[in-house]
Chain A
C-alpha cells in the first residue's frame, strides 16, 4: 500500500494527465454519438444566452436584407392565394372539405444566434428549444431552402446540423428526371456541396434544380435545396461528380423555420410494426 501511494505521488503529473486525456476522449466520442448532450453544446443555457446577446447586436446590421427576403417570400406566397386564380370550371357548390386535407407540417420560427462557416463541422444554434416544441431530428428550412436538421435540443435552444457539415447527408431529387442522389458536403466552401450516386447513364443539365424527397420524413416534399452548377464524369466511373450551388446563403442566414412533421409519430409506429 505504501509503495502504491509512493508511486501515485511520484507519477501524479503523468497519471492526472492520462486521466484527463481519457475523460476528454470519452467526451469526444459521446458527443459525436449521443444525441442527449445538449448541456455540453451551444444549446446550453449560459452559452446560448451569451451568443444570443452577441447576436442581438449583429441583428440590426442585417435588417434591410432580412426585410427584402421577407418581401420576396410574401410575394411568392401571395401568388399562391386562391383569389389570384381565375376559375376555369364552374362549380355549383363549394364545400370546404376538412376530411380531404389533414395538416401534416407545422412550422416554428426561430432566429439564428450563432453559426460557423469555416469548420469541417459547422453548427448553427437557434433560439428555440423543447419548450417551444422543437424536437431532435426536426428539419430546418428558410425562405431560401433547406438549412439542416436539429441535432441537440435544450429547453430554450437547439443546435442544428446544417448542410455544410461533413457528417450531414440528405437524399434529394432532381426536378426534371426525379432521380435520387445524396447530398454530402465535401468542399470547404459554404456555398457549394456535392451530389453523389447519380448514375452516368441518365442525362443531367447545369442549372437543374434539386429538391427534397418525400421519403426522408424530415422535410416536406419538393423543398428547394440548390441547383447543379457543374458536373463531370471520371473515366471508368459509373457515377457523376456533381457540384451543387446551395440555395441557402449561410453567411446571411438569420431567420429559419423548424419543421414539425405532425404525422411522424404515426409513421414511426407503422415502421416499428414492420421491424418487429
Chain B
C-alpha cells in the first residue's frame, strides 16, 4: 500500500519535471504541445479514493500551469479528466470486473483496452486545454487539429512508457 503511494508520488514529481523541463522546451509547431502529465491520472490505481483523484489532478494541472503561464486552464482540464475517469472505467469494465491491486496497464488488461482507455483520457484533456487556451479568437478546426495531433504524440510517449513496464 505504502509502496504504491510512494511510487505514485515519484511518478507525480517525475512527470512534472519531464513536462516543464523537457517537453515544454521542445517547440516544433502550434499543433504540438503534448501533455504527458495525463499519464499520472491514467496510471492512478483503481482503488484511489475519489477525492484524492480529484485533488491530485488539480495540483498536477496547477503546478504545470504556473510553468506555462496558463493559470487554471490545465487544472480545469485535468480535474475534468479525473472526474470522468471512474465513469469510463465502469463503462469499459472487463467481464469479471477490476481486480484490486491490478495496474491499469497493458500487462493486466491488454494492448487494445489500455490504448483505448489512454486515448479517451488524453483526448479529453487536450481538447479542453486547447479550447480554453484559444478561447474567443480561435477557429474550432484549429482546436480540433491541435487536440488530435498533440494527443497522438502523447499516446506515442505513453506507449513507449508501457514498453519499459512490460520489459520489467
Contacts and interface: CB of A to CB of B under 8 A. Distances in A.
A216 to B, nearest CB: 23
Contact of A13 (B20, B50, B71): B50
Contacts of B144: none
12 contacts: A20-B58, A21-B76, A24-B73, A24-B79, A25-B76, A27-B72, A28-B132, A41-B69, A54-B25, A120-B138, A121-B70, A159-B69
Contact of B137 (A21, A28, A120): A120
B115 interface: no
B66 A44 contact: yes
B76 A119 contact: no
Contacts of B62: 27
A40 B69 CA distance: 8
A20 B21 contact: no
A116 B20 CA distance: 12
B111 interface: no
A105 interface: no
B28 interface: yes
Given A28-B132, A54-B25, A166-B137, A119 B83 contact: no
Contacts of A159: 69
Interface residues of B, number: 37
A17 interface: yes
Interface in B68-99: 68-73, 75-76, 79-80, 83, 86
A16 B67 contact: no
A50 interface: yes
A117 B72 contact: no
Contacts of B30: 118-120, 188
A12 interface: yes
A101 B67 CA distance: 43
Q: Which 8 A-B residue pairs are closest in the complex by CB-CB distance?
A: A27-B72, A28-B72, A24-B76, A31-B71, A123-B69, A13-B50, A17-B83, A118-B30
Q: Counting chain B CB atoms within 10 Å of each CB, which of A26, A44, A118 scores highest?
A: A118
B32 interface: yes
Contacts of B75: 20, 23-24, 27
A21 B55 CA distance: 11
Given A24-B75, A188-B30, A121 B25 contact: no
Given A28-B132, A42-B67, A118-B28, 13 more contacts: A13-B54, A17-B54, A21-B80, A24-B75, A25-B72, A27-B62, A27-B65, A28-B76, A31-B72, A42-B68, A51-B67, A118-B33, A121-B133
A47 interface: yes
A16 B58 CA distance: 11
B168 to A, nearest CB: 30
Contacts of A31: 71-72
A204 interface: no
Contacts of B69: 41-42, 116, 121, 123, 159
A50 B73 contact: no
Nearest to B63: A47
Contacts of A118: 27-30, 32-33
A140 to B, nearest CB: 15
A37 interface: yes
A186 to B, nearest CB: 8
Nearest to A124: B69
Given A13-B51, A41-B66, A27 B71 contact: yes
A274 B82 CA distance: 53
Contacts of B61: 24
B17 to A, nearest CB: 9
Given A16-B51, A20-B54, A40 B71 contact: yes
Interface string A153-166: 00000010000001
